[in-house]
Amino acid sequence: MEPTPDKRVAQHNALINARFSLVPLQMRLFVALLSRIDFEDVDFKEHFIPLDELVFERRGGSAYEQVDEMCKGLASFTLYIEELEEKTRKRRRKPSYTYIPLMAEAGYRADLGGVIASFNPKIMPYLLQLRESGNFTTAEMQQVLKLKSPQSLRIYWLLKEYADFGRRTMSVEDLRFVLGIEEDEYPRFSNFKARVLDKAQSEIAATDIPFTYELEREGKTVARIKFLFQQLAASATKKTLPGAAEWADALLQVGVSQRSITSIASQLENGEYDVGYIAFVVRIVESQFRKGKIKKPAGAIYKALVDKYLLDDYNLASKPRQSAKKELPKVAERKTEIAFRLSEVQSMYENPGPYALRQKRADTFEKHLQQVYLQDGFTLAERNGEEWLIKQQ
């Protein structure tokens, strides 16, 4: 089965933030297998990947030798990844990590002119039946295929995970840790910037989430990288739907996710309801939220829109054949923010990268949290069942 450009692919967020480092051939095989997974699959299948999908420039027998060596190397390739709750497959409040082999098999078949490969069943929770966990990120295959560097691909997914926020801030140590960059690689930040950040920025500029970045220093040392990009939910819909920038922006501000907004956009395009129904639902749910009748307005808004259970009330309230102008409720001016998952902050404290090990750290995670984040203006908040550190700017 050849990958289709319009296919959407998905990964659990724990896999996006796992520690591993790929070489280009391994990356192409990973992407090829990822493209062959369907949302409804319940187990991994064995796939044939033709050589043309892995090697773009053949040079005699060297291409075959490289692929064969790559397959041998994958036999011992492991991910350092966050363990999930067994039943819900959600990320744990106190994360623990383990090593998992990536592949069940990967072998070059000269008689077929390609590779027979399949993922290790132990990583099924991170790639299959992801709707059950709700903690995943999707991307369009045509965007993923634009990336040539493994590190650019990893950074692309790290940014896509935060597409609803329009920014993601990571410490240099954390980014190096996730990308699997060893201590002796790019020891000078100028080299890391040129070989990793600038290269990723150049490649990702051609995708749906181009970014700029700012360097945050502590003294003379670059401590953090702030990635800045356009929030995708509004930009993805306003190209095709009139007034989409307004309704998508309003839904973003009350916490509706990008994936949910994409579903809503599809219903609008199919004529299942009009933009006025969105405004109607937002008003009803916000009123119920103020009265304490619901705790999570974003989820209630999405359900009311997708299931359309308020549509009869809306049609009754909207007099037939009248074209009264419908406006979305005004929302407060958005403040920019920096957001970190508490689980990720704790995992980096408990599993520091090689540079962080050199630095003096607080004796406990609670002290670390107070000294590094809470004293700097961050507050704890719950979003979609997860704890986050939020700082308004």
Q: What is the mean pLDDT of the chain?
A: 83
pLDDT value for 241: 47
> What tokens were used for 230?
């356009």
Question: What is the C-alpha to C-alpha distance for residues 49 and 47, in angstroms, rounded to an integer?
Answer: 6
Q: Would you say residue 393 has pLDDT above 80?
A: no
Most confident of 176-180, 322-326, 333-337: 176-180
Whole-angstrom CA distances from 305 to 127, 222, 276, 277 are 28, 45, 11, 8
Classify 195 as helix, strand or coil: helix
Q: Would you say residue 330 has pLDDT above 60?
A: no
Helices (H), the chain: 13-16, 24-35, 62-74, 124-127, 141-144, 150-161, 172-179, 189-192, 198-204, 232-238, 244-253, 258-269, 275-290, 297-307, 311-317, 342-350, 365-368
Question: What is the C-alpha to C-alpha distance for residues 224 and 169, in angstroms, rounded to an integer?
Answer: 7
The pTM assigned to this predicted structure is 0.64
Cα–Cα nearest to 22, from 147, 161, 170, 194: 147
Exposure string over 331-350, b if 16+ CB within 10 A, otherwise e: eeeeeeebbbbbbbbbbbbe
Q: Between residues 346 and 22, which one has the greater pLDDT?
A: 22
Beta strand pairing status for 386-392 and 379-383? Answer: antiparallel
pLDDT > 70 fraction of the chain, expressed in percent and rounded: 83
